[in-house]
Structures are given as structure tokens and as C-alpha cells.
Amino acid sequence: MTSNVPSSAPYTDYPLPESLCYLNGRYGRVCDTQVSVMDRGFIFGDGVYEVLPAYNGRVFCFEQHMARLDRSLQALRIPNPLSREEWQSIARRLIDDLSQNTGAADQLIYIQVTRGVAPRDHVMLPGLKPTVYVMASEMKLASTAQREHGVACVTADDFRWKKADIKATSLLGAVFARQISADADALETVMFRDGMLSEAAASNVWVVKNGVVAGPPKDNLVLEGIRFGLIERICRADGIPFELRPIGRAEVLAADELLLSSATKEVLPITQLDGKAVGTGQPGPVYARLYAGYQAVKAAECA
């Protein structure tokens, strides 16, 4: 039986990048690369991912990202298919290619590993060969206006599953959460589970009160962002008190400063939450110190 759909038919009205990517040992262009429809990542979202920032052609916090990738893979019982050296080699080639073709100095390396291709069965079938996909894209950092004036966010109940500590590809919950803020013309959705702060749709959230930086505890309800350790490191170096503990909604609403952190946001101030000013309504002094510290670490590690 023949198909009525030509093999070259586009799958989207949005143009796909022509940049280089890696799939299962081979390099090709993103716009041409395909995986099996029976891949468990496609059928079940049965896989994990990592997003590594690269500045000036050098991957930032590589070891920390690889350690988190290992943790996520172990949680899903998927063997890590590549060594540290192989992951780094792939990233290096993709970074160089994108830099040569676009001039992009700051990039994101996206890694995805799924359980592999198999007949559809909910059981974690043993012995499958993991599917490995890696691509590079230009990193869009926060704008000057966002840094000078801060950003608006909204709040919502955290309706996602209770294994948020796994950086899994099944991100429908995060998609819904992010859409809440998009519909409100806000940058992020700050979420609460049973009245306690968890995280944002695609960021970690930090509360500043009386000069102390606080974040929620590391547990199964929060993805431990790479910036957890980095922000603690910056705080310790600059003499800023830092703590991880349960944080209630009332404490968030009464904060002097609220901050977002992620690979692309780095550290970013929230100055409006649910239409109300956070603190003075302007980026605060602790944000300024953390952002300066962040840039210093970047300069030291990615010069």
C-alpha cells in the first residue's frame, strides 16, 4: 500500500532550523532529522533531557549538568549511553558549527535521551537501545529592559505530578503552567502545592526577605536547577545568608524581592506578581549582587 502523503511534506507551518544536530551517532540538519514513530519518547514521553548553556563557545557548568542527567536517567532506569567525553565532543562540534554559520556566541545545547524504539507497551522493556538526540540553538538572554525593570509573573496551583525532580520529557504539566502566564501577558507562573512554594513553569523561584535568600527544599516536588548550587555558591562568596526550607504563600507575597533562575534567565527579578508590586516594584539590591556574582562566575569559567 502506498501513502498519499509525499515524504517531503512539511509537518509544521513554522520553519525548522537548518543547524547541525546529532541523532544516534550521526550528524545531520535539524530540519531533516527524524525519529521512529514507535520511539517511546514520542509514544509515552519516556525520556529525559538536559539544557546546557554555552558562553563564548564553552559549556557552562558541564559537570553539574551531566550529574543531573545521570540522576534523571537512573530514576527512569535508562543506562547513560555515552561517556562524559563523548557528550562533550558532540556539544563541541554543534557549538562550533552554529558559531561558524550564525556567529552565535551564547548558545543552548539541548540533550534528549529516550528509552528507545519498541512496540507500544507501558512496561519498561529491558534491553532497548536508548535514542540520543542533541541540538544547539542560539541563547536568547533576558533583555536590558527586563533586567532594569523586572518582570511580571502570575501564581497558580501546582497541578503537576509528584516526581518533579526528574527532568523528564513528559512536560505537558509545564506547558499548561507556562500557558497560564502567557495568557496573562506575564513571563512566568509561580506555583504552589498545598500552599507551599514549589517552582515556576520553567524556572526556580527565590524569596528574599531582610537580606536572606531562601528557596524551597530539594525534594521530589522541585527540579533541582543547576542554579541551586550556583546561587548558594555566589551567596556564600558575597556574605549573603542562604537557606532552603518550606516557604508558604504568604511569605512569597510579603517578600522584599522575588527572583527567577534558569539557564536562559540566569537570575531575573520579579517586580510584579498577580498585578501587585513585589517589594518596591523595582529590582532590589540582593538581585543586583547575585547578578553581578553570576557574571563573575561566567567570566571566570567561560573566558
Residues with catalytic function? 167
Tell me if residue 215 falls in helix, strand or coil: strand
Sign of CA dihedral 221, 226, 227, 233: positive
The packing angle between helices 84-102 and 62-75, to 10°, is 120
Residue 1 CB partners (closer than 8 Å, separation 6+): none
What CA–CA distance (Å, rounded) separates 174 from 159? 9
Q: From the CB of residue 26, how many other CB atoms can be counted at a distance below 10 Å?
A: 8
What CA–CA distance (Å, rounded) separates 142 from 1? 51
Task: Enter the C-alpha cell of residue 44.
Answer: 509515552
Enclosing H/E stretch for 153: strand 151-157
Distances in whole angstroms, Cα of residue 8 to Cα of each of 15, 18, 19, 62, 202: 14, 15, 18, 37, 34
What amino acid is encoded at 14 in this protein?
Answer: Y
